């Protein structure tokens, strides 16, 4: 009897404390921070999978896994081989992999996406979501962006995307819509005629995109993003008794938006949602939003989680977001699921593994292997490619995830020529970034700022130059809100500021614009000339300062 009591007490303690953590009653948003927009989610058994767009970055379309909808770990990428899809030199900033959708059907995972300036719409498949994933099957006839797959009860597969197949495209500014068409998933061939499902919930609705289709209680529920990804972003839904329509805008629309709050609320520009039903029958939604600081969204679009109550109203099935509140929350009651922590992301990468951690990404597709993990260090080849051009430079980066952070690395690099440089780069796009670089006899800090939001023209300013001739140097960046302070020095205990405090807001959505996010990483270049040089990074640390 005593043994049974002891075992029971041990079980209670173990269930209340997992991985040294007390099981919380609430969770904090965002559930995935920094540059993780347009989330799509599905459930298989008691496990949830999610993916996000990556635009011009490779590897593309990360696959994330969770047991409790709160703790997520990256397990792979749907596009992880350069031969799957080529992101060519010249691919503009913020183009490439747009909003994907992840779905599961009869033992197979599907990720369907649009590669803008590639071959447009495609899908890849895998039986193991960690990979490997198949080569793309291109859907050649498909127009539009943000595709989704849906299987009806009879097994028929349908393809949905944001695009117009009927109606006057110029009837009002920003007019778009969602269409549906049968698809042969063995060949990627669309069958029959496309059917326009909606042009939005109102007569002047703008930029309808991101369709998600569900069948709930015998009724079809179409969920879309509207209003654009900035000030007027919103989630709207449509109801139909038939797969092919008509789809009637729900009277509760928009079912979620913060457009009426401006910057008076800590979460802004909410939209592009997906729904998932737990094994317990509860509904939750993932979607993206922004957390501005002093009016600037430097972390860009992040993934949030919201409770959804699926009600039946006059319009039919109607999702109610965070009942009684109606807005996204920074903290709220967590899902009724077993609390399942995952391994923490690596704060310090010592480069001791034989392959790169999944958090590392590069710009566009690498045509050759220009990096090497060797003797506990990361070696980057100095190549002619430069980071302020639309190419694949020797640049490996990770996402900035916090408003207060520091990044540090140890670099070993020596050169006798002016064109060879290596160091740390805080990057938003080819025309907007900061470079803290070691050159042959100095450390320099350079700021590059776009002339306008969409173009590649920029102005370049040397902020600071510090004489330095030693081979090894420590480079550091500390971010405190919108303040950036760069450092360099011979040892960590005596780092010197490299110039004055710099402005993080120039990399924000409000100034830099477009769709990608802010990253920081390791860079080496020979500035247009051939070189046999290498830069060696002993380690890389990125952590939150609370």
State residue 156 phi and psi, 5-degree precision.
Answer: -65, 130
Q: Is 182 noted as a catalytic residue in this protein? A: no
User: Buried b / exposed e across 292-308, counting CB within 10 Å, b at 16+?
Assistant: bbeebbbbbbbbbbbbb
Report the 3 state secondary structure along 58-120: ECEEEEEEECCCCCCEEEEEEECCCCCCCCCCCCCCCCCECCCEEEEECCEEEEEEEECCCCE
Task: For the chain, state the CA radius of gyration.
Answer: 24
516/427 Cα distance (integer angstroms): 10
Q: Is 38 noted as a catalytic residue in this protein? A: yes
Listed in sequence order, the residues at least 6 apart from 401 whose beta carbon sits closer than 8 Å to its beta carbon are 33, 34, 299, 544
Which tokens hold the place of 215? 């069948």
Provide, for the chain, the percentages of residues in helix, strand and coil under a 3-state DSSP scheme, each rounded to the nearest 5. Answer: 5, 45, 50
- Measured from the Cβ of residue 190, the count of other Cβ atoms closer than 10 Å reads 18
Out of 56, 146, 182, 209, which one is annotated catalytic?
A: 209
419/530 Cα distance (integer angstroms): 10
Listed in sequence order, the residues at least 6 apart from 372 whose beta carbon sits closer than 8 Å to its beta carbon are 378, 379, 381
Closest CA to 483 of 501, 459, 506: 501
Q: Which residues are catalytic?
A: 38, 209
């Amino acid at each position: 009897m005593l043994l049974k009591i002891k075992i029971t007490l041990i079980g209670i303690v173990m269930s209340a404390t997992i991985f040294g953590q007390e099981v919380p009653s609430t969770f904090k948003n965002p559930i995935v921070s920094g540059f993780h927009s347009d989330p799509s989610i599905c459930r298989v058994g008691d496990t949830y999978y999610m993916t996000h767009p990556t635009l011009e970055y490779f590897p593309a379309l990360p696959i994330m896994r969770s047991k409790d909808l709160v703790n997520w770990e990256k397990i792979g990428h749907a596009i992880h081989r350069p031969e799957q899809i080529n992101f060519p030199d010249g691919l503009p900033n913020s183009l490439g992999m747009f909003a994907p959708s992840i779905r599961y059907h009869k033992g197979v995972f599907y990720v369907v996406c649009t590669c803008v300036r590639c071959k447009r719409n495609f899908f890849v498949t895998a039986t193991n979501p960690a990979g490997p994933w198949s080569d793309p099957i291109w859907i050649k006839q498909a127009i539009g962006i943000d595709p989704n797959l849906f299987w009806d009860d009879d097994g028929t597969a349908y393809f949905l995307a944001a695009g117009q197949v009927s109606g006057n495209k110029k009837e009002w500014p920003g007019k778009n819509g969602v269409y549906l068409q049968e698809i042969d998933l063995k060949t990627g061939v669309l069958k029959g005629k496309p059917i326009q499902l909606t042009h939005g919930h109102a007569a002047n609705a703008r930029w309808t995109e991101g369709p998600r289709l569900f069948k709930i209680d015998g009724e079809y529920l179409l969920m879309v993003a509207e209003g654009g990804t900035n000030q007027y972003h919103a989630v709207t839904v449509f109801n139909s008794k038939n797969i092919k329509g008509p789809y009637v805008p729900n009277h509760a629309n928009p079912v979620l938006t913060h457009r009426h709050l401006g910057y008076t609320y800590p979460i802004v520009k909410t939209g592009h949602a997906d729904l998932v039903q737990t094994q317990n029958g509860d509904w939750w939604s993932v979607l993206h939003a922004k957390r501005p600081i002093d009016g600037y969204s430097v972390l860009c679009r992040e993934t949030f989680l919201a409770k959804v109550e699926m009600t039946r109203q006059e319009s039919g099935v109607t999702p109610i977001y965070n009942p009684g509140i109606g807005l996204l929350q920074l903290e709220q009651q967590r899902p009724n699921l077993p609390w399942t922590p995952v391994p923490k992301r690596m704060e310090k990468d010592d480069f001791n593994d034989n392959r790169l951690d999944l958090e590392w990404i590069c710009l566009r597709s690498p045509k050759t292997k220009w990096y090497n993990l060797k003797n506990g260090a990361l070696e980057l080849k100095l190549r002619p490619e430069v980071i302020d051009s639309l190419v694949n430079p020797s640049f490996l980066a990770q996402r900035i995830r916090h408003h207060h952070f520091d990044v540090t690395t140890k670099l070993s690099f020596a050169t006798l020529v002016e064109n060879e440089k290596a160091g740390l780069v805080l990057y938003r796009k080819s025309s907007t970034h900061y470079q803290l670089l070691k050159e042959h006899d100095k450390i320099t800090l350079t700021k590059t700022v776009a002339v306008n939001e969409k173009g590649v023209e920029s102005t370049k300013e040397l902020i600071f130059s510090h004489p330095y001739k030693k081979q090894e140097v420590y480079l550091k960046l500390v971010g405190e809100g919108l303040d950036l302070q760069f450092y360099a020095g011979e040892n960590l205990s005596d780092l010197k500021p490299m110039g004055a405090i710099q402005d993080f807001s120039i990399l924000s959505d409000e100034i830099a614009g477009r769709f990608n996010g802010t990253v920081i990483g390791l860079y080496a270049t020979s500035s247009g000339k051939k070189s046999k040089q290498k830069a060696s990074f002993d380690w890389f640390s990125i952590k939150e300062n609370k």
